[in-house]
Structure 1
């Protein structure tokens, strides 16, 4: 269950990281630009359906491009790959001849899609069928995949979590989340586990005696020792809801992903959980229509379709302010010596900076002063002057000593009064004329104060260095002191790797 939960989040909640990385995505951009158009399909690889019963299949479309797209269409099947009639396929409402007009999608926007299968009874011996899916932008194919449909007469448990609408909350606010869990299979599940996963700052409020916070999955697990019959539905009553809170100081604008999952539990897991939580404080989280007493990772029963055990929704936080001040530095030493400095961002607040996202690709342009040659750079930095002007090379293919400009990517949320710094090491060399460099912050949608977005990067020659203690000329800017830890890696070095893989072949 843990692996499935993390996989689901990686595909859905981290779509913005995939946008930035571009890994395994076909290049549909002009060379030398950072723009490309791509609407990806995030669907289950296979779906198991019970003969004679209807099954709703859901999947998501994501705009993984760097800009908005228009005239997006989704097509089911094709002339070469028609959908088998015995699957009882029904396209989503509003689609014509299995072609669906999706319309326009903003960067990073998700669109959920559902279709229905009603296979005829008695077809279990038939071979598995496939349903081809394709997206297009302005008539040009963008993404293609297929879902394998497996038919069964045996049946089983098939838990589903209904879609949950996105929320809009300001920092410090909270809201109840409506939740419905259904068993569309034909066998009962005797105990349920509810997993709530919010990795990027929104806090689930689940202070109940039958809920545990579990570090292994970074979320909460709640256990219900209740039977959900085939065809049945459970909800949470109003007096014991699932609630999410946006802590004060949370950054915006940003859509914080939250995943909710349901899983059938084994008797062994329920027994161990009950022993572990006996005497726990707090009232019990209940289910309707019936609730009873009941998370290290839940030990799950077999489920026909685990992919639809999840519902993802976003908590949208409006714009907050985060004044980013550039942190410069001084390469200090004698000619021939090496000097290491740390430059980057000091967040003066009052809130944190937003995590990595299309709308907030924050970076520092580091222009080196004369008189130094780089010997080592931070792994989050690449040669170039901007995001659209990065040298498309591997580390082994460029000479650091010849690099004069770097782009250093901020890939984490930085708390108020925290700093996000990049380490640079350079050898001090002689120069006929010295000129100062700079650290220039770019890309923040939260920073309304631009006067402190630039800081000086200088060289100071110490005794024996042919100039003894005089800084080179340049605009004055001090190294801003401060402390704080970077929060929540949101993509690590995906951007760094991706910009070196602009042309990627997609293999079926």
Structure 2
């Protein structure tokens, strides 16, 4: 019995949100830097909530500030004047809020808050079993945001797993911590077995679950554990103190960084329970690798869940600052006038730890490489992680064809390990320039808070002519094929939105 498909269905949507940071291509008209000065509190909730008539259901949603300023006097609204919350939904506003609105305390830049409301609908009398519930935010002089949740009422019931919240942690390198974990079945039908997925997203944190019923997946770096214990309707499942959910920060983990960890639960069918029991009965030792005992049988199905959105929660592990000496790597375009040449420039990490990944919440600590091309290079292709400009907050938003600038900004998206390089490719034609204007370029590494050694942050980027050409010179014109229209904080905002949306949008689905 293979668990790869189950891993993929559970893990990919969650990981995709955080990896959306690598999708840097954005419409030029959406990259107006003035828009970044607007204040806005975003609201994200599940698309659909299924509620059993007569039973209470807790619904979780997120609010977050993705502007670069403190937001004051924001208001959260439940329903609208023209479409109030339906009375028969049994809506109870979050604690401390009024029935139709909630005045919110100040939001720091990048701050995220999770809130809940409850529903306890009465049996519909001739009314449609599906009702829309609108949530929106407003700010004086700022932008508004809104989302709609479809509430589906049912009399049949079923399994409905809910993950309990897990508080964020702070750990030093080499430290471990037990993580309190609970999952409740608020439905009215029992499940025979429970699957638990522990998935660190950006590295830097490792799950420590050395038990015979846990299997690591090398593709995602997470663990799937199977518990052959029934969870009755209305029951709550928790790991005992003797076998806790535990995470570890490796001794060389880079920081400072808040590493996200996703934890998801899924109910498994009888077929899975029987197969697992048969395969594990003769197992020896403290650790069981399920794939080693599997057959080519069809993939087991997990029990259907009324509300798969709340089967998953996440928390962060804050790791303190470490040192990483980022040194610039230069190069030279080589050839005769009219030749096309390619160079790869960037950085090399001398350690002692890796560099931190690209931050998900704010541009603070962002690691990037500033590239100034030498005169005499007509760029035809640039690395997709590079944009025209001098810094992530100073991008050439008004780029037109032809592009005549020499300055580029290249973003380091992933952690660069000790002794490793991250290089960016540039391809261009070597053209003539006026005599005396053959100015060398340079590569400058901005290593953030980890890099305290500045002596190796710059390297030369030159043109080495092997022959040909003289005289009046040619202008550097043309449109780089790899030009990315976007930049800076816009990319961080887009990544944050995708990351948060991935949390609350049907993350757990039925495995076929």
In structure 1, how many angstroms separate the alpha carbons of the residues matched to 2:69 and 2:428? 37
Q: Residue 23 and residue 228 in structure 1: after superposition, are their counterparts in 2 closer, same or farther (change >3 A)?
A: farther
In structure 1, how many angstroms separate the alpha carbons of the residues matched to 2:206 and 2:449? 24
Of 163, 169, 172, the match for 2:174: 172
In structure 2, how many angstroms separate the alpha carbons of the residues matched to 1:16 and 1:104? 28
**TM-aligned CA deviation for residue 253 of structure 1:** 1.7
Of 64, 67, 90, the match for 1:65: 67
1:219 aligns with 2:222: yes
In structure 2, how many angstroms separate the alpha carbons of the residues matched to 1:379 and 1:241? 43
In structure 2, how many angstroms separate the alpha carbons of the residues matched to 1:298 and 1:497? 45
1:91 aligns with 2:70: no
User: What is the SS of the residue equivalent to 1:452?
Assistant: coil
In structure 2, how many angstroms separate the alpha carbons of the residues matched to 1:17 and 1:70? 28
5+ long unaligned stretches in structure 1: 285-295, 468-492, 504-508
**TM-aligned CA deviation for residue 214 of structure 1:** 2.5
Q: Residue 464 and residue 141 in structure 1: after superposition, are their counterparts in 2 closer, same or farther (change >3 A)?
A: closer
8 Å contact 2:214–2:224 — kept in the other structure?
A: yes
**TM-aligned CA deviation for residue 101 of structure 1:** 3.3
Q: Residue 325 and residue 36 in structure 1: after superposition, are their counterparts in 2 closer, same or farther (change >3 A)?
A: farther
5+ long unaligned stretches in structure 2: 1-5, 289-297, 472-483, 495-512
Of 424, 447, 456, the match for 1:452: 456
Of 138, 141, 144, the match for 1:142: 144
Q: Residue 445 and residue 466 in structure 1: after superposition, are their counterparts in 2 closer, same or farther (change >3 A)?
A: same
8 Å contact 1:327–1:343 — kept in the other structure?
A: yes
Q: Residue 125 and residue 76 in structure 1: after superposition, are their counterparts in 2 closer, same or farther (change >3 A)?
A: closer
8 Å contact 1:380–1:496 — kept in the other structure?
A: no
Cross-structure match for 1:3: 9
TM-score by length of 1: 0.82
**TM-aligned CA deviation for residue 111 of structure 1:** 1.1
Cross-structure match for 2:371: 366
Which region of structure 1 is more displaced relative to structure 2, 258-267 or 330-339?
A: 330-339
Which region of structure 1 is more displaced relative to structure 2, 370-379 or 235-244?
A: 370-379
Cross-structure match for 1:418: 420
Cross-structure match for 1:481: none
Cross-structure match for 1:271: 274
**TM-aligned CA deviation for residue 163 of structure 1:** 0.5
Which region of structure 1 is more displaced relative to structure 2, 103-112 or 325-334?
A: 103-112
**TM-aligned CA deviation for residue 158 of structure 1:** 0.7
In structure 1, how many angstroms separate the alpha carbons of the residues matched to 2:42 and 2:416? 30
In structure 2, how many angstroms separate the alpha carbons of the residues matched to 1:448 and 1:439? 18
Cross-structure match for 1:330: 332
Aligned residues: 460
Of 387, 390, 394, the match for 2:392: 387
Cross-structure match for 1:77: 79
In structure 2, how many angstroms separate the alpha carbons of the residues matched to 1:408 and 1:273? 49
Cross-structure match for 2:444: 440
Q: Residue 124 and residue 209 in structure 1: after superposition, are their counterparts in 2 closer, same or farther (change >3 A)?
A: farther
Q: Residue 280 and residue 266 in structure 1: after superposition, are their counterparts in 2 closer, same or farther (change >3 A)?
A: farther
For residues 223-243 of structure 1, the C-alpha deviation after alignment (integer angstroms, 9 at most, x for no partner) is 111111111111111110010
8 Å contact 2:214–2:287 — kept in the other structure?
A: no
**TM-aligned CA deviation for residue 449 of structure 1:** 2.4
Cross-structure match for 1:248: 251
User: What is the SS of the residue equivalent to 2:344?
Assistant: strand
- Across the aligned residues of Structure 1 and Structure 2, the Cα RMSD in angstroms comes to 3.3
